[in-house]
Chains A and B, each alone.
Chain A
Amino acid sequence: MRPDPVPLSRAQRLALTAASFLLLATAAMALGPLIAGSGWWWLCAFIAGGVLFSGAGLRALRAPASLVPVLELVVLLLLLTLVFGGASSIALIVPTPETFDTFGGLMSGAQRTIEQQSVPAIAVPPLLFALALGIGLLAVVADILVQTLRMPALAAAPALVPILVPGFIIEAGAELPALVLTAAAYLLLLRVDVRVRRRARLLAGDEGEDAAVIVPPKRVPIVSTLGASLGLAAVGLLTASVLAASTPSVSTSLLLGSPSQGTLFARGVSPFIDLGRDLRRPEARPAFHYFARDADRPYFTLLTLDRFEGEVWGVTDTAVDGDNTVDAMPLPDGLSEEVETSEHPIEVVVDEVRTTWLPVPYPASRIEGLSGSWFWDPGSLAVRSVDTNTGGQRYRVTRLEVTPTVAQLRDASTEVPAELEANLELPEEMPPIIADTAVVVTAGTTSKYDAAVAIQSFLRSSQFDYDTEAPVAEGYDGGGFDVIAQFLETKSGYCVHFASTMAVLARELGIPSRISLGYTQGSPTQERVDGVQRVEVDSHDLHSWPELYFEGVGWVPFEPTPGRGSVPDYSRPGAGDGTGAAAPSTAPITPGASGRPDLDPDRGLAGQGGGGATADSWWQRGLSVVLVAVLVLLLPAMLRLGQRWTRRRRIAKGERPADAAWDEVIATARDLGAGGDDVETARAFAATAAEREAFGEAAALAALTALRDAVERERYGPETGSPPEASELQEQLDRVRAALLADAALSARAHAVFAPRSLFDAARRAFGERPSVDA
């Protein structure tokens, strides 16, 4: 390929720019499943369009070709300043040092929000900034490929970036319509390029007798370009699918940055494992403290696990709804007016806990004083942030205390609302011991409430030991079926095991259940003003507990873990046998079951283990990084293989076969560093090559000469006679390649495979070329 001597006109360059823009804009659509709303896409289109069309404008003004990408970067900076610079900029677009500080803040904010948001993410400003910056840089790359290097086929590379990202993050990857549209836009770009070139050649070429010779387009280049681009797309899709397949349980954090130290459940990869590790931490770290009236000692929920898959408990992945602001939270699900409720304000000050989930009592009616954007999840009313975390927060939460009577619970309808069917789901392959236990424990109970109380009593009985070490030591940490089965055998574990066992047993009995993760009520301090006491909560107060659903009351917490937390009144055996009105649900009743911190048997429990699970994810993370690296390193080799394959197909199909064969010979020689310059004629190359030792063999030399004659006739000869036999050409090509390879050192051959020079030639030539002047 020699550099096209025909400079393109402004209109032609503009057509190419428009096609590049279309490609990037459609490729950006692939990010759709990751980000909520559509405003972000318009921003991406604005930035990409601004960069690409300013590049076209600069070229129209005859800016030096090598300078255009640099100027495009400047344009990108100006656009970013316009959109994100705010008051810090001069004349809206000129950045100041302050603007760069703002950008720095946005970048770190973006990193945080990527770590913390689940998909689809809310398009908060830091995320938008990262998107705009990314798409802007891709636009510059695409422009270099399409306009400077004149290799539009390679524009697939920047377009693949937004397409591949969803593959890393969600299992489904990018949506099919976006893929199809992007592929169409890509083909359009190639088509525009082919047309533009042909027209440019015709305009620049002689209008004389030979004009007619040029007009009939030969189909070969289009076919081979198409082949190359399809190959490229195939490689991209393969990469995406391999990554998606190899990292099924890998969450976003794995590829887009890990949660920083001390961030709890940032991505919810395995909250149970994190919880166990925190409980075993030798020294408790202060999590937060709160100020509340004496009787007000609620549990603080961080998040609620409602999905059980046999192996793990997880959070149903729901999109954050931007309307669910925390200043007005809804009434909890299933709560009827008959149940008595009361509101209690609690002032919470966060100490060291860093998580995107806000510790709030369930249910809460509103939260005030938070910084950042916080939203509640429907159902669980768990509160999470999309752009910040709990660090340094001080907020006032109004807790809605629900005090059901035992009668209300016992009389609750056995009907399960359709939307809670999921909370009854149990995977098929349940170990028999679970069903057996459920039957034995609840024998003789008449209502679901009684059954729940029976399960709680069973788990709190002296048969079970609280132990944070045993499950880790014996390898059944977690909340899956196998773990529960072993826990029921061993009868030793900690809150995770008690909570998940009770939740599963409840589901087995037809009671919708879920598991809340959070903190117990904590330890009161001596600090007290006007009846409001300061209560400290630390990492050893981390806890999980089951919540069961009773129609008319809603989600009701239970406490099956012996020695931890406090048992709600309504769940104490025989609680409803008296009058009916229950005492405040979380008030500590008996010292033995109160879980008062000073009596808590968990205190001081410490261990060194617990790193196994994270090591596992680190291993996976390392593996995927290595995999990506290997794929990237192998890309040139794969592209070269694809090129060779395309040429062999051309030979087989008789599309300028000798040309294809000779191109392959030259490319092989280039790869091996054995000549093959573009200012060298076929004859000159053959003459130089013939002096090599490997061509001392008559057959190899004959093949080389035959191939040379064939390509000369095909390229420069009159179009008469039959084309050479494909099989013969193929054989000659193989012979010549073998001779060239045999002549090369091992290192040269390795270089040829992994870093084929011939692939980079086009780029090299394009850079060495004098900037073409527009017509």
Chain B
Amino acid sequence: MEEGQIMLASLLRREVRDARDREVGHLEDLAFDLEARPPVATDIAVHLEWTDRVGGLLLPRTVEDIVLLLPWSEVEALDPEAVYLRHEHPHFEVASSEGKLLLRRDVLNKQMVDAEGNRLQRVDSVILKPEGVLLFLEGLQVGMEWFPPGRRMERIVGKLRRRYNRAGEANVIPYEAILRVDEDALVIRT
């Protein structure tokens, strides 16, 4: 992994704090716009300890352990210890998850296939790059230090990195190679 990059797994379960610096829950997932160049985080899924409202709607009773998708405009800062939100709990803006691509749910650990449907490998890690308060998708890592990818996969990743002008020997498939995300598999343009 190159300097300035982080793994999605290191962000997940990170503390989420509101405008009054109160811990309100933890980070559950991130929604990304894959069409953007580079793909950028559009929403943050927060596992709230409790809430009594969803957006402007007051609920008849308080609910616990609820996951809400908040637009990225709610994110004030990304800190190594916590994610800070712009508003006070529970007065957050909320977003619909309809049609959204969630990295943990839809990408991490997912089966990758080539355009012909041949199985390649699973996504072992999702590599992100924070820039200020924004978060960009760098690519999909195959293999870990303790679990190297197969030679066939190394060759494919090397070819893709050359094609998209990525330096270094990292086993990260550049985001440009992601053709689409289907229900069962992530299609890679090999």
A binds B: no
Contact surface of A with B, Cβ cutoff 8 Å: none
